[in-house]
A and B are shown apart, each in its own frame.
Chain A
Amino acid sequence: MSRRRHSDDSDAHLLEERSWECEDQKADSLLADSSTSSPLQRAGAEVPCQNHWVVSEGGVVQGLSARLLPEKLTVYTTLVGLLNARNYNFGGEFVEAMIRQLKECLKVNMYNEAVHLVRFLSDLVNCHVIAAPSMVAMFENFVSVTQEEDVPQVRCDWYMFAFLSSLPWVGKELYEKKDAEMDRLLSQTESYLKRRQKIHVPMLQVWTADKPHPQEEYLDCLWSQIQKLKKDRWQERHILRPYLAFDSVLCEALQHNLPPFTPPPHTEDSVYPMPRVIFRMFDYTDDPEGPVMPGSHSVERFVIEENLHCIIKSHWKERKTCAAQLLSYPGNNKIPLNYHIVEVIFAELFQLPSPPHIEVMYTTLLIELCKLQPGSLPQVIYKLVFSPFEQLSVPLELGRLTKPEGDKSTNSFTKSHLILFFDRSDCLTQDLEKPKPKFVREVLEKCMRLSYHQRIIDIVPASFSVLSPANPVCIYKYGDESNRSLPGYTVALCLTIAIKNKASNDEIFSILKDVPNPNQDDDDGEGFSFNPLKIEVFVQTLLHLAAKSFSHSFSALAKFHEVFKTLAESDEGKLHVLRVVYEVWKNHPQMIAVLVDKMIRTQIVDCAAVANWIFSSELAHDFTRFYIWEILHSTIRKMNKHVLKIHKELEETKARLARQHKRRDSDDDDDDDDRSTDREDGPLEEQIERLQEKVESAQSEQKNLFLVIFQRFIMLLTEHLVRCETGGIDVFTPWYKSCIERLQQIFLQHHQIIQQYMVTLENLLFTAELDHHILAVFQQFCALQA
């Protein structure tokens, strides 16, 4: 009954090696030492026939495979296969446990784990644990989800993905047993894929150009890969299949039928994975001397990428282990592994809405990889970084690219590398707002932040000096004798002396009283109305005195906090403070960012003021610079964290009250005085009420922040579009492209919060009257969870 030829011995040997990675002491005890020729077979023989012990092994194995080492799936399915051959009941209970776990995962929105469970189940068909027809039946139920009405497309997408992505493992077997049913499933798949919406795609693509590497939507790409696999008669050569070595044992095993599986229904709380675009940077033309890279529509490519992603997911906390595991991925001599690894890492870095892990993990991982492969890996990275540099139209994730560049530039690159970088001399002949020169300027600025200005000047060739960052010095308008005539000059001098003599806040106030108010008519008579000159004199002087370092400036903000709060009481006051900070420190964006951060945290300004300031005309010149967006996103994040923090406090207080009730109920309660219970609950209940109000007010502030930001974007973009239309000029200027992408970035980076506001956004801001260019962004965003 052996239905396929044995694979070569290397599979069995690999199984021996890898079976040692089946952790947990109980599992360890199953495995014989490596001196035996077929340890797993012996392992099968050693399993006692007590079902409960054996099922707990199953728990271990399945837990390991699904959650920790999905890239070693076939090792574990083989183990289960052998155990099933020995003990039929074990197999049955194992399968049942897996199905239960699958249902649980789907209920709690753990879709990535669920995919691995489905794949594990399908590979169990290959190990004779599950009967092929019952697997096909399960997939039929998956595919029929696409017939459901009134469900989000992303739900159908997931079930389709779970089906298709298991086929590289089990397609052959299923097709051999049930070709008619499979054909039907595949044609249903095709018709679903044809009719599904792809509005979301432009928003998720990293590069806008499709040459030389098309950026495909993930399901489209997978479907092409499966179609090719089918055309190749389901011959798949990349996956290591240890069970082939044990075919003689496994084919004697009795198989189980999967119980009929009904996908859990869609609920309000269901949150499905967002669609993706597959990031591709390399193909078979890269590394012509090495092994050929599998084509973008080959199923091998899919499997390799899946497994590499899994390795990163398993070992992301341990950078050295992760690097070692990636580099020891099997098949190193048959595939250009370094290229795959670099492509997968950058795919994650560039993933939209956001990378699965913190960005600095990827750069450090790349450094570790370079340490292990100093002769070959750095070149692959250059290739990846330089080629998009060549085809830079306006990649959305220009920002992301500067971060790894900045890190790597100071961490591993030397002066000679940077010169290579600058060899692309055409970035000089272009307008400095064009992507290439802009990119270089931003990278140099990032490099400067990690080193110092003179170093950058030394490194950058003279011909490129126009791209160098400005010397980050402070600009004090009252510094020069020649500015004597400026209003407020004398007060500034006074203030300087007073502060140096450790004046108190009150003394400062009295000095400032002498500053005339240019808006005298608007003075409401209280003496502390908005006086821009007062703010200017005070902030300029203080920041100048504290310019030495961040710590000096922070101390200054803290010491004169009261003065700041008073001067910046009104909205106009807050805006003006920000303006003056910019005027003083416009050469030192990093300083602006940390000052704004501190001022928000100490409540000198609020988040909405920062948002308004960023969109103000004074900042228009710097609007496309990266530091502006760093500040805005950081501001939004602070707002979000603030809301979460208060919410958490509220939940904790509610829990305390509940515990108090519980304790009281379980205590002696025959003569409970109503009044005393109220007295006990009183303070906590008051606290809860206060926190509830706080939460509501914070949430309303948060919503307002997003509304302000979107409103300003719409105003800015509409202005530009109208101007272009009436002037007959092309809309797609570098500024416009940058601005539209920044709008997209707001949606993507904070998508979870923004989802709450969809109705308001649709009714208030992104209405049908809006220019279609702007509305498209909103519609693409809606399509991400539709």
Chain B
Amino acid sequence: MSSGGTLSILRSDSYAELSQYRDQHFRGTRYDQERLLRKSCTLYVGNLSFYTTEEQIHELFSKSGDIKKVIMGLDKVKKTACGFCFVEYYARGDAENAMRYINGTRLDDRIIRTDWDAGFKEGRQYGRGRSGGQVRDEYRQDYDAGRGGYGKTVQCQ
């Protein structure tokens, strides 16, 4: 039952903290990147179904505040949705609430994941996998009906 031993635990806000992930394609120093992440109003949203629409994302993420923009992630080759997006809020506080209360909940019956993003730049809306989608869909072995079935390498076998 004990929640821990230090004051910091009571002030904790773990859901809104930065994760370990750092975008390797980021242009700039680690320091710059983290500075941007800490004041960002933009979230990366992952594990979406390929069929999830901008409208659904807008509805869900509006629960934590007014959305400035939703940018759907696209397959670089096919230019169709490939299971991620960016959500930009007007206020950081609204983005924080999304991290606290929307991250880890379901959309289209899938648990979605949100993480801080340093800010959208043209080109970042494309998947970075070799086949055009996201990297995670290149190598995965499982069958995921909402994400094109088997992973790309499996499909090519």
Q: Which residues of A pack against B, CB within 8 Å?
A: 17-18, 20-21, 23-25, 28, 64, 68-69, 314, 317-319, 321, 324-325, 328, 358-361, 363-364, 367, 403, 407, 410-412, 449-452, 549-551, 554, 590-591, 594, 597, 634, 637-638
Contact = CB atoms under 8 A, between A and B. Distances in A.
Interface residues of B, number: 36
Interface of B: 1-7, 9-10, 12-16, 53-56, 58-60, 63-64, 66, 69-72, 97, 100-102, 105-108
A418 to B, nearest CB: 14
Q: Is the interface of A mostly helix, strand, loop or mixed?
A: helix
A24 B15 contact: no
A451 B56 contact: yes
Given A452-B53, A594-B58, A318 B12 contact: yes
Instruction: Give 6 closest A-B pairs by Cβ, nearest first.
Output: A23-B7, A360-B63, A449-B59, A364-B101, A360-B101, A317-B13
A577 B61 CA distance: 28
B3 A21 contact: yes
B54 A550 contact: yes
Given A28-B5, A410-B106, A318 B14 contact: yes
Interface centre among A64, A68, A367, A450 (most CB of B within 10 A): A450
Contacts of A549: 53-55
Contacts of A24: 6-7
Nearest to B8: A23
A512 B13 CA distance: 55
B59 A411 contact: no
Given A23-B6, A364-B101, A450-B56, 16 more contacts: A21-B5, A23-B9, A317-B100, A318-B12, A361-B100, A364-B105, A410-B106, A410-B107, A411-B106, A450-B59, A450-B60, A452-B56, A549-B54, A590-B55, A590-B58, A638-B66
Contacts of A410: 106-107
B97 A360 contact: yes
A23 B101 contact: no
Contact of A328 (B1, B4, B9, B53): B1
Contacts of A449: 55-56, 59
A321 B101 contact: no
B109 to A, nearest CB: 8
A442 to B, nearest CB: 14
A411 B106 CA distance: 6
Contacts of A597: 66
A325 B64 CA distance: 24
Nearest to A594: B58
A367 B102 CA distance: 11
13 contacts: A17-B1, A21-B5, A69-B10, A318-B12, A319-B100, A321-B3, A324-B3, A410-B107, A411-B106, A450-B56, A551-B54, A551-B72, A634-B66
Interface centre among A328, A407, A591, A638 (most CB of B within 10 A): A407
Contacts of B6: 23-25, 28
B2 A21 contact: yes
A590 B101 contact: no
Nearest to B65: A358
B55 A550 contact: yes
